[in-house]
Amino acid sequence: MAPKWRFVSLALIFILPLGVTFVSRDAATEPNSYEVLCQPGTISTPLRDHQINNNVVLPVYLHNVSDSIVGFTLWVKSTWPANLRFRADSTVGDVVYAKFDTVGTKSKGFKFFSARIQDALHGQVKISAICDSDSPRVVKPIPPGPAGILLKLIMESTEADSICDNIQQKTFALQIEKAQTSFSNSAGQTIGCNYELEVDTTYGCCKTWNSNYTVCLEKWPDDHMCITERLRCVSIDTTKLKLYDGSNTFNCVACQCGDANGDVSVDISDVVFLIAYIFSGGAAPGACIYAKGQGDANGDGSVDISDCVYLIAYIFSGGQPPHCK
């Protein structure tokens, strides 16, 4: 009987071509049968007249129930990139990379991280990450456990005038591209994948491969038959991998005189902010529609210690409200 060669390959299928709230209402009411659930947050951020919010922090949440995660590919898009887009961090040649943050998240310490913007409007970003490619791994995979933040994406708005348009709130959906998103476990398999065994019976199969089985170094003679078997990911079981959309709601806030630090309230923190600006070279008060900014509380055309005194009288002694010019 002619000798046969049998090869079984389980390749790492890493990129499969196919107020903050975590889970959506649908996800919250489903039985906990999934293996991985991922969702951008449902967030709310302020947006003031004539201003741009360039620090909209979008947390992306993850709950992996039973598998450790060694890597993932995540594709997120804004449905209205002309108004809410991903903030650029750096450019290499023609490639623009998005700004993100992993401090205090489940993916903190991952050795490889790429957040590449996919379109000219900066409305889509593809994040690819691997904890560690070394063997043995120095950086550990994300272990199964309770839901938490996978990473934070930094977004920015256009000017408020083009968004608010005399309304108090406006919501933009933030979607996960399901066919472009996958998570890999420690065995190198795509979590939630339906695998199919492929059998290929041919003559002249490979006898010796290189170390990562990409190049055939020596073939069997043509008179020998071999059988090649491999597992192929044919589809994703959507009951195992749950991907939900998120959103950002802009709260349109009118420009407020005296709100020097721009936190949508006039209080002692604005006095502290002005003192730091006047005496220590701190950040300037928000400009908004006022010539001297929101810090000119007494409306005398300048920002100085008299504005601090004016605000203190207003806050603690029932003095006149701020009236910037």
pLDDT tens, 284-296? 887 666 667 788 9
- Mean pLDDT (the chain, rounded): 83
CB 286 within 8 A of CB 277: no
229 and 244 belong to one structural domain: no
Q: What are phi and psi of 130, to 5 degrees?
A: -135, 135
160 and 199 belong to one structural domain: no
Residue 260 lies in a domain: no
Residue 31 lies in a domain: yes
Residue 273 lies in a domain: yes
Question: Lowest mean pLDDT: which of 25-34, 122-131, 136-145, 154-163?
Answer: 25-34
Residue 290 lies in a domain: yes
Q: Tell me, what's the pLDDT at 322?
A: 93
201 and 152 belong to one structural domain: no
Residue 258 lies in a domain: no
CB 284 within 8 A of CB 261: no
- The CA distance from 229 to 271, in Å, is 72
Give the strand pairing for 6-9 and 100-101: unpaired
CB 27 within 8 A of CB 242: yes
- The CA distance from 180 to 157, in Å, is 25
Q: Tell me, what's the pLDDT at 85?
A: 96
174 and 198 belong to one structural domain: no
As for how many domains the chain has, the answer is 3
183 and 198 belong to one structural domain: no
Residue 98 lies in a domain: yes
Q: Tell me, what's the pLDDT at 168?
A: 77
- The CA distance from 137 to 129, in Å, is 14
Question: Lowest mean pLDDT: which of 47-51, 270-274, 284-288, 299-303?
Answer: 47-51
- The CA distance from 161 to 55, in Å, is 17
167 and 305 belong to one structural domain: no
Q: Tell me, what's the pLDDT at 233?
A: 83
Residue 199 lies in a domain: yes
Q: Tell me, what's the pLDDT at 10?
A: 31
CB 73 within 8 A of CB 127: yes
Q: Which two tokens stand for residue 142?
A: 């994300």
Q: Tell me, what's the pLDDT at 289?
A: 65
Domain enclosing residue 158, as ranges = 12-189+237-253
What pLDDT digit, counting tens, does each position of 16-73 carry?
A: 333 555 555 454 445 558 999 999 999 998 886 666 788 899 999 999 999 999 999 9
Q: Tell me, what's the pLDDT at 5?
A: 31
The mean per-residue pLDDT over the stretch 213-239 comes to 77
Question: Given the structure tokens 């906990």, which residue do they identify?
Answer: 32
Q: What are phi and psi of 268, to 5 degrees?
A: -65, -25
30 and 108 belong to one structural domain: yes
Surface-to-core class of residue 1, CB atoms within 10 Å of its CB (0-12 exposed, 13-18 middle, 19+ buried):
exposed
Residue 4 lies in a domain: no
245 and 96 belong to one structural domain: yes
245 and 171 belong to one structural domain: yes
CATH at 110: 2.60.40.680
42 and 180 belong to one structural domain: yes
164 and 38 belong to one structural domain: yes
The mean per-residue pLDDT over the stretch 270-282 comes to 94
134 and 209 belong to one structural domain: no
Which DSSP string do the residues of 296-315 spell out, in sequence order?
-TT-SSS-SHHHHHHHHHHH
Q: In this model, does residue 124 exceed pLDDT 70?
A: yes
Q: Which two tokens stand for residue 55?
A: 């620090």
What are the start-end ranges of the H helices in the chain?
Answer: 25-29, 161-164, 268-280, 305-317
| Residue, of 50 and 204, whose pLDDT is higher | 50
The mean per-residue pLDDT over the stretch 106-129 comes to 96
Beta bridge mates, 199: 229
